[in-house]
Structure 1
Amino acid sequence: MPEHTPAPTPSRAVYGFAMFLGFKIFFIIYIIWSVIPEKYFEKVGIDFLPQRYWAIAVPIYVLSTLTLFAFVIYPSFGLIMTPDVDDIRTIMDKVGKKRKNNEIKLEEYQSPSCVCKNHEKCAKEYFDVKEMNSKQKRIPVLRDLDMWTVSESLYLN
């Protein structure tokens, strides 16, 4: 089995269970610390605890940071990586150019010769007629339109 796989493994299961228990215990201690009055901690002998302010402040800081990232920073990265309106990359990309050069023209396509074992029962003519009808209804190959062709069809016709 490859080392870098998302598939479950026994060691991953053990680490996951240990993390689950650790976070569960940490959460229970956090709730006890934030709810129980300090005099009970002092009776047990625990006299050095953070202020209760941090029980509220830390989750609010974390959630504020996550909200700032989700609604401001992450969309800003997308806007920074987007090319300008007058950039040539908004009109044609590398993949579209490759497809345009390697495009197969459907009109030039010739159906292969018959490969039937029994030529008496061959239905090649039926399939050729069906293929000719489907050629006319076929959606063209995906490709970028040339900027000049689009401008000509929009503004000169």
Structure 2
Amino acid sequence: MSKVYQPALLCLKNWGDLDTTPQGRKTKKYFLDSYDNFMQYLKSAQANAGEGIKLADNTSEKINLLEIKGVTECIQVASIPEIVSDMEDLASIWCRQIEQILAESDQMRKEADDTGPLAELDHWRRLMARFNALLEQIKSHKCRMVINIINIARSKVLKVQ
């Protein structure tokens, strides 16, 4: 749209009746401004789509979290100290990553106090994209299994975090 339609609209010399009356010129300007705002919104949405956060992955070769299906399997895994230790390390890494994300979002907000309404909307869209990506990962099967395992093992990591 930005490479074909927008240049075509901007190069268009004859807008018919819209060029002949003051109301028509106002309508033309309103349309072009609205189209430009829409293009900015699409660019922002595209940038925000790549803004996703990726939590650290399970680096332990001892267990595949996707194979754990229920509480009974979590109980069995929670009885193996090496795996519990790996899961505690992973949960600690996740907590640090989430703290960093929250600190960065707070910092971005403080730097942008004198912005206009469109920049403000863009800021909140970006934040929403980041937090939605984070939330989807937190709700994932892997994350739930890690939390279940360290919870069953009565890990102190959950109390500290």
Instruction: State TM-score, norm by structure 2.
Output: 0.25
Structure whose CA Rg is larger: 1
Instruction: State TM-score, norm by structure 1.
Output: 0.26
The structure with the greater share of residues assigned to helix is 2
**RCO comparison, higher one (Cα < 8 Å, 6+):** 2
